[in-house]
Chains A and B, each alone.
Chain A
Amino acid sequence: MTAPSILETTEVAPTRTVVGRSPWELAWMRLRRDRVAIVCAVFIAVLILVAILAGPISHLIGYGPTEQDRVHGITLDGLPVPPSGRHLLGTDNLGRDILVRIIYGTRVSLVVGLAAAAAAVFIGVIVGLCAGYFGPVVDAGMSRLMDVVLSFPFLLFAIALVSVIGPSELVEIGVIAFFSWAAVGRVVRAQTLSIREREYIEAARSLGAGDLRIMLIDVLPNLVAPVIVYTTLLIPVSIVFEATLSYLGVGIIPPTPSWGNMISDSQDFYQVAWWFLVFPGAALILTTLAFNLLGDSVRDALDPRTERLFAR
């Protein structure tokens, strides 16, 4: 066999100092070096832990989320009690411990936020992928659909929908997902359109690969990075959306606590009980901030621009 002689084909010096690292490993390394990302990730991990262990924790504190402490939780005038040794973050107008309620609210926010974001991304990716891959006719149909969904005034529709169907956690997730998937779909469609023109897709076709195979094996892996970034940015949006719906009374209905309905309840009392507004508000802001910052860091880790100057 006349194989090319070893002289011609020996790899001389490694072309990379870091060899064999997948793009994921490199991204992970970059993320680990980002201090902001670590702080946010820890914060979110704590939140998740707290949400899971809400029962035992509130047991430890000594109060349930809907338990009204008529003895120590309310002043003689019927007003909320400020933060004290017994109620670390104070109580609300019905004497319920705010810390415990915030903890239970975390559960709602995370479950609804994460589930809605996941559902939106799932639908958005499928629609966007089909729209981007299959050519002008399918694209036209799906794009128009996305445009229509995006032009709904969401709050009005959300309120209307919930009034018809009735409020619950599942409905909330559905509503938020319904109004979020189109934005994801648009982004995925744009990415797919650009990926479709790449030579490696042409190569796959020339090998005889079918459309489904190309979409799943060649296109999808290239979508994962932007989709991850979009998801981490969609989660805080969903959380705030949930809080908004609860605030308006069409989300989680009392007495089940949600940060949104706690803020709504505090409207009449914040002048005399600042803690009633501030703590749930702070929880919402900090959580949103943590996810946003983490999302930024994830994007930087997955798509560093300045580093690859002389990679070739």
Chain B
Amino acid sequence: MTEPLIRVEGLVKHFPVRRGIVFKREIGRVYAVDGVDLEVSRGETLGLVGETGCGKSTLARCMTRLYPLTGGRVIFDGTDISDLSRARLRPYRREMQMIFQDPYGSLNPRRRVGSIIGDPFAIHNVADGAERKRRVQELMELVGLNPEHYNRFPADFSGGQRQRIGVARALALHPKLIVCDEPVSALDVSIQAQIINLLKSLQEEFSLTYVFIAHDLSVVEHVSDRVAVMYLGRVVELADRARLYSAPRHPYTCALLSAAAVADPDRAAQRERIILVGDVPSPVAPPAGCRFHPRCPKAQPRCASEEPALIDRPGDPPDHFTACHFPVEPGERLAREQPAIGQPEG
């Protein structure tokens, strides 16, 4: 088995909450990512799904070392990059890039588009002057923008076009890995499809590896090879795409799948909607034991004290991992609206 392109081991990222006038003391922590193990093979797309507070964005930024790690390791292309200094990390920045969610915030409004896309060339001293301009225009064409708009400002472009600019910028130095943090969530539906198709074409063209973060399950299903579901800082299920959508085993995954709005009235009326009680709890005070237990329709006393490991469960293929003591059996119907134990924070 070849070495995965990027591997994350026991990644932990906590943000301290500080209070104090002159000297700030830590009074609490946001357990944004609390022990994640993942790996992504070359050329594949790993989908990362979860709701607010699950830590997927934080995980993405830890993987690309935009944040320093609180614990654990990130190994990129065989090298441990967890503790590298800014200077030592720079060459790796050419290999892994990010595409951001907000097409209106991820581009500097006071800079021209050509300059924005040309940034990677300037920062890494790859190309200058006319050569840089030529390569930028080449990139613009590649992502479907008019190269003559080189001197325009972001305000002159629509949301979808701005996202293309972001893609061009990420692609400039031909990275191996691109982490896409909700790249289409802020776009209109008809434009989302354009950008998704663009990303897939580029992946084929340049043999890219993607980590694709989204909260929209149907988008993730469409683009991913494997999917990881996150909840409150941990991965609760990880499986091959087809498997996850047809035979999910974690109750949260089941709830998530059933909650997804379906653009088909008959199917919508027929399906069993599992409605979870309560809201997603805050990562400042994650519940003990299995983090999902206060909202879980299947929870038992064991779940409140013992945290389940992410392992493959009996009856599943070896690459399907579930972190649950009592995974959902095929054909099992989960109770609607009743948490089994505990009172969720309403």
Residues of A within 8 A of B (CB): 1-4, 8-9, 11, 15-16, 19-20, 22-23, 136, 198-200, 202-210, 213, 217-218, 221-222, 224, 311-312
6 contacts between A and B (CB under 8 A): A3-B142, A8-B197, A16-B155, A23-B110, A203-B169, A206-B93
Q: With A19-B152, A221-B111 as known contacts, state yes or no: A207 contacts B106, CB within 8 Å.
A: no
Q: With A8-B197, A9-B144, A209-B123 as known contacts, state yes or no: A218 contacts B108, CB within 8 Å.
A: yes
Task: Check if A15 sits within 8 Å of B142, measured CB to CB.
Answer: no
Task: Check if A213 sits within 8 Å of B144, measured CB to CB.
Answer: no
Digitize B158-172: 1 where CB-to-A-CB distance is under 8 Å, 0 elsewhere: 110100001001000
Task: Check if B153 sits within 8 Å of A22, measured CB to CB.
Answer: yes
Task: Check if A11 sits within 8 Å of B119, measured CB to CB.
Answer: no
Task: Check if A198 sits within 8 Å of B105, measured CB to CB.
Answer: yes
Digitize B227-245: 1 where CB-to-A-CB distance is under 8 Å, 0 elsewhere: 0000000000000000000
Task: Tell me, in angstroms, the Cα distance from A218 to B122 when the chains sit together.
Answer: 13
Task: Tell me, in angstroms, the Cα distance from A207 to B179 when the chains sit together.
Answer: 12
CB distance from A247 to the nearest CB of B (A): 41
Known pairs A8-B198, A203-B169, A312-B159. 16 more at Cβ < 8 A?
A2-B201, A9-B145, A20-B151, A20-B152, A20-B156, A22-B153, A203-B100, A206-B64, A207-B97, A208-B93, A208-B94, A209-B123, A213-B123, A218-B108, A222-B110, A311-B155
CB distance from B117 to the nearest CB of A (A): 11
Within 8 Å of chain A (Cβ to Cβ): is B205? yes
Within 8 Å of chain A (Cβ to Cβ): is B274? no
CB distance from A136 to the nearest CB of B (A): 8
A residues near B143, Cβ cutoff 8 Å: 4
Within 8 Å of chain A (Cβ to Cβ): is B326? no
A residues near B144, Cβ cutoff 8 Å: 3-4, 8-9
Q: Which of A20, A206, A218 contacts B66 (CB 8 A)?
A: A206
A residues near B120, Cβ cutoff 8 Å: 207-208
Q: Which of A23, A202, A210 contacts B109 (CB 8 A)?
A: A23
Task: Check if A15 sits within 8 Å of B124, measured CB to CB.
Answer: no
Task: Check if A202 sits within 8 Å of B100, measured CB to CB.
Answer: yes
Residue of B nearest to A19 (CB): B156
Residues of B within 8 A of A (CB): 24, 64, 66, 86, 89-90, 93-94, 97-98, 100-102, 105-112, 119-120, 123-124, 141-146, 149, 151-153, 155-159, 161, 166, 169, 194, 197-198, 201, 204-205
Task: Check if A207 sits within 8 Å of B169, measured CB to CB.
Answer: yes
Q: Which of A15, A19, A213 contacts B158 (CB 8 A)?
A: A15
Residue of A nearest to B146 (CB): A11
CB distance from B211 to the nearest CB of A (A): 13
CB distance from A222 to the nearest CB of B (A): 5
A residues near B98, Cβ cutoff 8 Å: 203, 206
Task: Check if B153 sits within 8 Å of A222, measured CB to CB.
Answer: no
Residue of B nearest to A206 (CB): B98
Task: Check if B97 sits within 8 Å of A16, measured CB to CB.
Answer: no
Task: Tell me, in angstroms, the Cα distance from A84 to B106 when the chains sit together.
Answer: 66
Task: Tell me, in angstroms, the Cα distance from A16 to B94 when the chains sit together.
Answer: 35
CB distance from B198 to the nearest CB of A (A): 5
Task: Tell me, in angstroms, the Cα distance from A299 to B216 when the chains sit together.
Answer: 42
Task: Tell me, in angstroms, the Cα distance from A296 to B107 when the chains sit together.
Answer: 29
Task: Tell me, in angstroms, the Cα distance from A213 to B119 when the chains sit together.
Answer: 10
Task: Tell me, in angstroms, the Cα distance from A11 to B124 when the chains sit together.
Answer: 32
B residues near A224, Cβ cutoff 8 Å: 110
Task: Check if B119 sits within 8 Å of A209, measured CB to CB.
Answer: yes
CB distance from A250 to the nearest CB of B (A): 37
CB distance from A20 to the nearest CB of B (A): 5
Q: Which of A3, A9, A199 contacts B102 (CB 8 A)?
A: A199
Task: Tell me, in angstroms, the Cα distance from A23 to B154 when the chains sit together.
Answer: 10
A residues near B156, Cβ cutoff 8 Å: 15-16, 19-20
Task: Check if A8 sits within 8 Å of B194, measured CB to CB.
Answer: yes
Task: Check if B108 sits within 8 Å of A222, measured CB to CB.
Answer: yes
Task: Tell me, in angstroms, the Cα distance from A204 to B156 when the chains sit together.
Answer: 21
Task: Check if B119 sits within 8 Å of A204, measured CB to CB.
Answer: yes
A residues near B169, Cβ cutoff 8 Å: 203, 207
Task: Check if A23 sits within 8 Å of B153, measured CB to CB.
Answer: yes
A residues near B197, Cβ cutoff 8 Å: 4, 8
Task: Check if A208 sits within 8 Å of B161, measured CB to CB.
Answer: no
Task: Tell me, in angstroms, the Cα distance from A64 to B245 when the chains sit together.
Answer: 92
Task: Tell me, in angstroms, the Cα distance from A224 to B110 when the chains sit together.
Answer: 10
Task: Tell me, in angstroms, the Cα distance from A107 to B97 when the chains sit together.
Answer: 56
A residues near B149, Cβ cutoff 8 Å: 20
Task: Check if B152 sits within 8 Å of A1, measured CB to CB.
Answer: no
Task: Tell me, in angstroms, the Cα distance from A198 to B111 when the chains sit together.
Answer: 14
Task: Tell me, in angstroms, the Cα distance from A213 to B100 when the chains sit together.
Answer: 21
B residues near A202, Cβ cutoff 8 Å: 66, 100, 106
Task: Tell me, in angstroms, the Cα distance from A311 to B157 when the chains sit together.
Answer: 10
Q: With A20-B151, A206-B93, A208-B123 as known contacts, state yes or no: A221 contacts B108, CB within 8 Å.
A: yes
